[in-house]
Amino acid sequence: MSIPIIDIFAGPGGLGEGFSQQGWKEGNPFFRICLSVEKSYPAFRTLKLRSFLRQFRYNDFPDEYYTFLQNNENPEKLYTLPKYEQQSRRAEEETWMETLRQDKSFHIKLDEKITKALQGKKCWVLIGGPPCQAYSLVGRSRNKGIKGYRPESDERHFLYQEYLRIIDVHRPSVFVMENVKGILSSKINGSAIFSKIRKDLTNPSKNNDCKYRIFSLTKKAKEFDKDGNPVFSDTDFIIKSEKYGIPQSRHRVILLGIREDLCPKGYVPPTLVEQNKLSVSDVLNLPPLRSGISRGSYTSNDWEEAIRSFPLADNIDTISEIAGKDVTETIKQKLDNISTPPNDMGGNFVNSTMYRAMNKQLRNWFLDYKINGVLNHSSRTHMRADLHRYFYAACFAEINEHSPRMHEFPEFLKPNHKNHNSGHFNDRFRVQLADQPSSTITSHIAKDGHYYIHYEARQCRSLTVREAARLQTFPDNYFFCGNRTEQYVQVGNAVPPLLAAKISCIVKEVLTQGKSNFG
């Protein structure tokens, strides 16, 4: 009798995964994803595969799943096996590749899908985050450069209205809505769009017969207006993930909406509990890899030769002056110990049981020993010049405990770009520090690895998809479909599942205390 979840703008399913984990490993899932809607084909494939696996108990996935992975075969072959016909059909019903849009005929089809998925259940949860490109600071900066661009004409600003329409028509008991922090400063016609979103979500019904109370997940409500709605500032809705056991400095706006009839005046739901910070090295305990070399040879010998060609002897005084003698000595030591790791450049499956120490909680969340290896763990190729920049940056960060800014690179390592000293490229190359949470994992990781340099200089590379997924807290048995670029995009666009799992605990308590009102 699991509580149904409708997940729209689902991406690869990070938010849904967190809710699904509530009781799944114990064989008694509290929530069940009954419909996920996503427009991207690679993300849809990932969603469907995970939906298929959710037809089984968490620790009882089909043996064929692991066999396909270990043989570097497409795990989607599971759908063709007659013995899993029923599970495949359910996965097909529970995932839908479609673009949410303002279109009456589409709304009819969507409403039919939602009604069928809910199967008459009155207690259910809506989750999802409208696409963020129109709200993010990077997206808005990019849009300003588009001739004739008008925010008022960008339909992405109004996709939240599709979320709103579903609330109005189907009346979920609770909703969780996620977006980027930039939404707080986004404006349309000079008015703050977030204020309008909050107002609309409070009263989504055209007939004024269904209202919601909107809560922060990090701040306890201390004041209420005359209608019993909690009073929050916009910034109260920001969740700084690193404060809540996520090894990443990811700051997002997340709203918790509770239907008014389930939320008596003065009711205050639980909030997230702060935890000790997790660092990058706490979760990136995966088999080491080497990078490849773009526009040239990919052999391990050529890679080693490329790293060793770092011109330390010709620039030792310059490096010592800029970065310090300890960095110079570290560079020398690591150059003397460069060797190709046993797993070379990795792959979609790396046959390895190597896991360095993890605490029990992290082991329980991440590990699946039946894999006997690591998924989606292949390194990318880099230009020779970038290899030297990565190598230097990682050595610098190890000693100085911060990633070097552009003025902290010696001149011979700076990009051949006339504006490299303008100040606009200060963090062009960013090492993810071993003893700190990572910076925000975004879809930009698909374009190049400059912002996501591995802290271990002897690997001299950017993060793999699995390493990015670890920082996003996806379990290790969560396979990302598509090519590597598509996998990176999916990981960067996701909500950290472990954060979603913590939010699901709050939603569970809200629904449990209100169960007498569900009829």
Catalogue the active-site residues. 132
In angstroms, what CA-CA distances link 31 with 7, 78, 331, 412, 502? 12, 24, 51, 56, 13
Give the SS3 label for residue 26. Answer: coil
CA distance linking residue 73 with residue 67, whole number of Å: 8
Structural tokens at position 398: 């190890």
Q: Torsions phi, psi of 439, nearest 5?
A: -75, 175
Q: How far is CA 298 from CA 303, 327, 343, 367, 450, in A?
A: 7, 28, 14, 31, 20
CA distance 378 to 286: 11
- Token look-up 């374009």 returns 447
> If we measure between CA atoms, which residue out of 3, 72, 12 comes closest to residue 493?
12
**Per-residue H/E/C for 351-398:** CCCCCCCCCHHHHHHHCCHHHCCEEEEECCEECHHHHHHHHHHHHHHH
Give bridge partners of residue 350 from the DSSP assignment: 374
Structure tokens at 206: 């055209």
Q: Do residues 459 and 393 touch, judged by C-beta distance below 8 A?
A: no
CA 65 to each of CA 53, 72, 93, 369, 476: distance values in angstroms, whole numbers, following the listed order: 9, 11, 20, 13, 13
**In contact, 244 and 273? CB cutoff 8 Å:** yes
With vertex at residue 390, the alpha carbon angle to CA 387 and CA 394, rounded to the nearest 5 degrees, is 145
Q: Which two tokens stand for residue 427?
A: 């963090």
Please tell me the distance from the alpha carbon of residue 519 to that of residue 504, in angstroms, as a whole number: 22
Residues 492 and 136: their CA atoms lie apart, in Å, by 14
